[in-house]
């Protein structure tokens, strides 16, 4: 079950964190993986790890917020079966403390970047007679999270795009679903804590972990396993759905 043999998968932001875990797992399950990354060194590192494990993977330097670059990259890759829109950036701030520049940057990467990749991927998915699109949303699209105004706005848009794409392309055998993680332990989280709380790293890590009712952060590999299911033929009857993977955050945090 959950094999991706002979499938071609594009994963944005596949150089680190959740994207890297997805890329490695998809390759392990038989997919040919194409990683789209702003940081080409990180992308190449993931590719090297996949190749050493016997898989097939390729790295592409691309800023997902630039439409022409995205279109060119997808045209170079050609026909695909799976797109995972994982690339994104974070931001801390309320409506009145978020600058226009920061708001535009979040929208450019987290919203326009998803649009750019979906619009470029649809013609390539058609060549294969359909396929699967998986968008990385967030629990921030479901519940109010303090000081995450722009990020929450962007992830709400991603969830809405998921529904729209699922509706528009269902007759073309293109499925579209999203995943909404709570806090996941990635190098980004460690860097955030080190930068903002250099003298309280252990206590802040514990605090962030305990914000999930299950008592810990998620693991990138756990999100990757959910993405694998949604990309596989075992999920062929699923489209237009969002899947929280949140340690009980949405339903039990009261």
Cα distances (angstroms) measured from residue 158 to each of 44, 109, 123: 27, 11, 20
User: Dihedrals φ, ψ of 3, to 5°?
Assistant: -85, 150
Report the C-alpha gap between 197 and 212 in whole angstroms: 20
Going from the C-alpha of 176 to that of each of 79, 159, 231, the distances in angstroms are 17, 10, 9
Catalytic site residue from 115, 151, 169, 243: 151
- Rounded Cα distance between 226 and 234, Å, is 12
Residue 197 is among the residues annotated as catalytic for this protein: no
Distance CA 23, CA 98 (A): 33
Residues recognised as catalytic: 151
């Amino acid at each position: 079950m959950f094999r991706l043999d002979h499938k071609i998968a594009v994963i944005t932001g596949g150089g680190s964190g959740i994207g890297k875990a997805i890329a490695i797992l998809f390759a392990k399950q038989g997919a040919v993986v194409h990683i789209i990354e702003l940081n080409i060194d990180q992308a190449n590192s993931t590719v090297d790890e996949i190749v050493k494990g016997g898989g097939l993977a390729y790295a592409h330097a691309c800023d997902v917020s630039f439409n022409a670059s995205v279109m060119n990259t997808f045209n170079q890759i050609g026909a695909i079966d799976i797109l995972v829109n994982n690339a994104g950036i974070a931001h801390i701030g309320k409506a009145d403390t978020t600058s226009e520049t920061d708001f535009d940057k979040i929208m450019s990467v987290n919203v326009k970047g998803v649009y750019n990749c979906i619009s470029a991927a649809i013609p390539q998915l058609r060549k294969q007679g359909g396929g699967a699109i998986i968008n990385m949303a967030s629990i921030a699209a479901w519940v109010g999270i303090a000081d995450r105004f722009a990020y929450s706005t962007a992830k709400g848009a991603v969830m809405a795009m998921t529904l729209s794409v699922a509706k528009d392309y269902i007759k073309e055998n293109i499925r579209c679903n999203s995943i909404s993680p709570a806090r996941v332990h990635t190098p980004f989280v460690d860097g955030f804590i080190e930068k903002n709380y250099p003298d309280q790293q252990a206590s802040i890590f514990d605090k962030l972990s305990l914000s999930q009712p299950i008592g810990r952060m998620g693991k990138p590999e756990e999100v990757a396993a959910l993405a694998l299911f949604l990309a596989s033929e075992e999920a062929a009857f699923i489209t237009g759905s969002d899947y929280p993977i949140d340690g009980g955050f949405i339903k039990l945090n009261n």
